[in-house]
């Protein structure tokens, strides 16, 4: 072979050398995904016995208190370290009092799961939407608009009640301005200065929440949440929201939803030093599972790719309804 021929053959880089076997691919893999990165959301319903399938979320159920001990032990066996709890109360009112009742559904669920698996981390969602008769995330003024400042004491009281029940991490999702500061001050005053806050800092007004609203019975009775959740077009504003929450005392921040906002997630990860979470929300889950049920996607590979993409974009923590299913294959 002539020297010129050799040079011509060597003129391009052979990236395939690092893809030639499973072992090599694993050795050079950039984004690691393990069960320890995952948080599993759970819907707990007052008065329910056992489990009730959620129609719009194939493979997901509402759970009664009596089903939580087995669920907590299952998660422990799968090495999934944390759950995010959402409650469906027995009754609702205009102040969302079930959210901060000391014997509320989530407060009771925390104790049940901790009794069954003390090592399980419990993340408590702080919002009023599941508990208010009107379905909005805060208190209402007489004209039907959400009263941001009047909502803060109730959100703070909710956070304290969850911490008292044994909640490990407080996660405000309401998107009221100033709620992180109000919650931090109330937790500290109540004797919980070590309880961290995972703020839903960049929570967008998304169409991908539809199945969740069925699962949690939390759809607003009128209007929508665009006045307090973020406009999907605003990436720079998302970073401003994140920085504000960190300044108010958030220990971790979240981007929600995940897949339509991977650019926001990557920007947040590049801009802050605190841990970053992303919520692979109900609509993302249901969309994938519907395609699987129709035979359009390979379930295992699609879930792997979805969760890996969220990690690759920068999430330290991935909140996902796929957590148990994915962890069971590891």
Catalytic residues: 203, 256
Cα–Cα distance, 36 to 256 (Å, whole number): 20
In whole angstroms, give the CA distance from residue 61 to residue 309.
26
Residues with Cβ within 8 Å of 287's Cβ and at least 6 positions away in sequence, in order, are 208
- Residue in the block written with tokens 């792997």: 304
Residue 207's contacts (CB-CB under 8 Å, 6 or more residues apart) are: 283
Query: Can you tell me the distance from the alpha carbon of 279 to that of 258, in angstroms, rounded to the nearest whole number?
Result: 5
Task: Look up tokens 């009771």; give the residue.
Answer: 108
Spatial CA neighbour of 45 closest among 101, 108, 93, 97:
108
> Kind and range of the H or E element at 63?
strand 61-63
What does the alpha-carbon distance between residue 316 and residue 290 come to, in Å, rounded to a whole number? 27
CA-based nearest residue to 209, from 224, 227, 197: 224
User: Reduced to 3 states, what is the DSSP secondary structure of residue 269?
Assistant: helix
Residues sharing a CB contact under 8 Å with residue 98, sequence separation 6 or more, in sequence order: 87, 89, 90, 91, 92, 104, 105, 130, 131
Tokens representing residue 251 in the block: 């220990």
| SS3 of residue 169 by DSSP | strand
Q: Three-class SS of residue 238?
A: helix
């Amino acid at each position: 072979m002539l020297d010129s021929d050799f040079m011509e053959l060597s003129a391009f880089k052979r990236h395939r050398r690092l893809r030639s076997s499973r072992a090599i691919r694993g050795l050079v893999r950039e984004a690691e995904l393990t069960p320890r990165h995952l948080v599993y959301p759970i819907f707990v319903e007052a008065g329910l016995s056992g489990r009730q399938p959620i129609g719009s979320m194939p493979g997901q159920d509402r759970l009664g208190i009596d089903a939580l001990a087995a669920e907590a032990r299952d998660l422990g066996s799968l090495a999934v370290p944390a759950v995010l709890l959402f409650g469906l109360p027995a009754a609702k009112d205009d102040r969302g009092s079930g959210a901060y009742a000391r014997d509320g559904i989530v407060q009771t669920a925390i104790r049940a799961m901790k009794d069954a698996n003390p090592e399980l981390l419990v993340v408590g969602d702080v919002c009023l939407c599941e508990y208010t008769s009107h379905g909005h995330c805060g208190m209402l003024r007489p004209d039907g608009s959400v009263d941001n400042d009047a909502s803060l004491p109730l959100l703070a009281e909710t956070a304290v009640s969850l911490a008292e029940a044994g909640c490990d991490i407080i996660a405000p999702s309401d998107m009221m301005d100033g709620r992180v500061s109000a919650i931090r001050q109330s937790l500290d005053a109540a004797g919980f200065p070590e309880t961290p806050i995972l703020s839903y800092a960049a929570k967008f007004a998304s169409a991908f929440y539809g199945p969740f609203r069925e699962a949690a019975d939390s759809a607003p009775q009128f209007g929508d949440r665009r006045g307090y959740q973020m406009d999907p077009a605003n990436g720079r504003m998302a970073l401003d929201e994140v920085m504000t929450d960190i300044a108010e005392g958030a220990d971790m921040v979240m981007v929600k939803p995940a897949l339509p906002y991977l650019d926001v997630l990557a920007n947040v990860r590049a801009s802050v030093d605190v841990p970053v979470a992303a919520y692979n929300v109900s609509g993302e889950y249901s969309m994938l599972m519907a395609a699987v049920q129709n035979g359009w996607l390979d379930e295992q590979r699609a879930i792997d790719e979805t969760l890996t993409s969220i990690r690759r974009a920068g999430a330290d923590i991935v909140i996902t309804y796929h957590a148990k299913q994915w962890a069971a294959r590891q």
